[in-house]
Structure formats: C-alpha cells, structure tokens
C-alpha cells in the first residue's frame, strides 16, 4: 500500500454534487485536493459493467494525466423491482440526446417502470444507493472502498436540496427524502463518528479510516 505523498491527490470527478460532498467530507483532514474538473481533465468514457470497473477507469485516467494519486466515485441507484437498474447506468438515464443531463426525466423513467411493475407500496419500491470509491496511483495500483444505503423510492419527488435522484430516495429509518435533508444530515461524517448515512459518506468513512488516519 503506497503512501499518498505530500497529502495531495486529485478528485477524479466532474460531477458538482459529488465534488461538493467530497469537499465537505475532506475538510477536517488538511489534504490538498484538486478536482479533475478544475484541472480541465477529459472525462473518460465509462465503459465498465460494474461500479468498480467504472471507478477504476475514472481514477486511473486522472492519475495518469496528473502523475498524482486520484480518488474517484462511481455510484448509482439500484432498484430491486427493476432487477438492480438503473445501477451503473444511473447517470445515463438522465442523459439527453444533446448530452445534457435531466434528472427529472430520469426519475420519471424510473417511476414509469415501477408503475408498470405495479410497485405501489414502499415494500415493493425498495432499493439502495451504492458508491464505490477507487484510489488509483499513476502506475495503476488501485484500492476500493464501498458504501451503500437502503431505502425506497417515493413519488412525487420531494425536496430541492442535494442532486441527482435525491428527491425520490427515502432512506430506511427516515420520513424525509435525501432531497429534503440538509447536507449535514445526508452526508455529514467526521473522524470519530461511527454513523454515516449516505452511500458516499459510508464509502468515504472506509477510505478515511484506511488512508487518511481517521478514527
């Protein structure tokens, strides 16, 4: 396991929502972190069929381009009644013909498929958000950290906070969606905390304990 030298790495993402959450999570650690977006790196095509493969593609491309270790996040929503879809295609379901993203369109597509399955109770609408982080070095050496949070999909969407599919996902044990939560409620975690709620916070907690010396 190589060290992260000079407390410096690249966040291999262009997704503003993810970058905002990682910047909150990284604040206590005093690392110098630049994002792939800030550095003007290209976004590689995500050709993998698993979260791990896509996380590796993104982290490896950023590590090779910068010569620095890179941390990526590949994440998505897996709905049980849809056999795990959209899964690794979660972002694709929001992609329009002109390449822009429309998450209302993606949530409507998910809802239409659930309605076709007759999924009309919370028990028939279960699923989880999954996040796989990959820390990759320029020579290709890689480590993975995974987090997931169970819940169910609601309709209509509720809340304007967060990003992506947050307004339709209600985590188990809560009566509000991710879209109705504050940033602190959704992904707040700091060293020493046992609890983390979101998939990304849970995956980050594993990364921080393994690699940033967090308790």
Q: Kindly list the residues in this chain that would bind ligand IMP in the complex (CB under 6 A).
A: 15, 46, 73-76, 90-91, 94, 129, 162-166, 178, 198, 200
* Residue nearer to ligand IMP on the CB measure, 2 or 103: 103
**Two tokens, residue 35:** 């994002």
Residue 104 or 210 having the CB closest to ligand IMP: 104
Q: For ligand IMP, which is the closer residue by CB, 66 or 75? A: 75
Strand partners, 72: 134
Instruction: In whole angstroms, give the CA distance from residue 159 to residue 123.
Output: 22
Token readout for 53 is 């493969």
Residue with tokens 């339709």: 168
Query: Closest CB to ligand IMP belongs to which residue?
Result: 164
CA angle 58, 21, 27 (to 5 degrees): 105
* ∠ Cα 120 121 126 (to 5°): 105
Nearer to ligand IMP, 32 or 174 (CB): 174
Out of 74, 120, 139, 175, the active site residue is 74
Q: Which is nearer to ligand IMP, 48 or 138 (CB)?
A: 48
- 6 Ramachandran zone, left/alpha/beta (phi>0; psi -120 to 50): left
Do you know the residue count of the chain? 215
What is the smallest separation between the CB atom of 88 and ligand IMP, expressed in angstroms? 7
Q: Which helix (H) or strand (E) holds 203?
A: helix 199-211
> Is residue 150 annotated as part of the catalytic site, yes or no?
no
**C-alpha–C-alpha distance, residues 140 and 18, integer Å:** 23
> Count of CB atoms within 10 A of residue 117's CB?
12
Catalytic center residues? 74
């Amino acid at each position: 396991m190589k060290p992260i030298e000079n407390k410096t790495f690249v966040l291999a993402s262009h997704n503003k929502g993810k970058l905002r959450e990682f910047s909150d999570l990284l604040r206590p650690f005093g690392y110098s972190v630049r994002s792939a977006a800030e550095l003007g790196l290209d976004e590689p095509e995500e050709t993998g069929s698993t979260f791990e493969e896509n996380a590796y593609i993104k982290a490896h491309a950023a590590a090779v381009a910068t010569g620095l270790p890179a941390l990526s996040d590949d994440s998505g929503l897996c709905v049980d009644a849809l056999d795990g879809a959209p899964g690794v295609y979660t972002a694709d379901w929001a992609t329009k013909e002109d390449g822009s993203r429309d998450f209302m369109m993606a949530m409507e597509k998910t809802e239409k498929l659930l309605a076709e399955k007759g999924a009309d109770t919370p028990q028939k609408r279960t699923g989880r958000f999954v996040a796989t982080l990959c820390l990759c070095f320029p020579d290709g050496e890689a480590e993975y950290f995974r987090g997931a949070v169970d819940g169910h999909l609601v309709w209509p969407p509720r809340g304007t906070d967060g990003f992506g599919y947050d307004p339709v996902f209600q985590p188990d044990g809560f009566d509000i969606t991710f879209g109705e939560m504050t940033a602190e409620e959704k992904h707040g975690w700091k060293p020493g905390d046992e609890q983390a709620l979101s998939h990304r916070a849970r995956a980050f907690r594993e990364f921080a304990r393994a690699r940033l010396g967090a308790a």
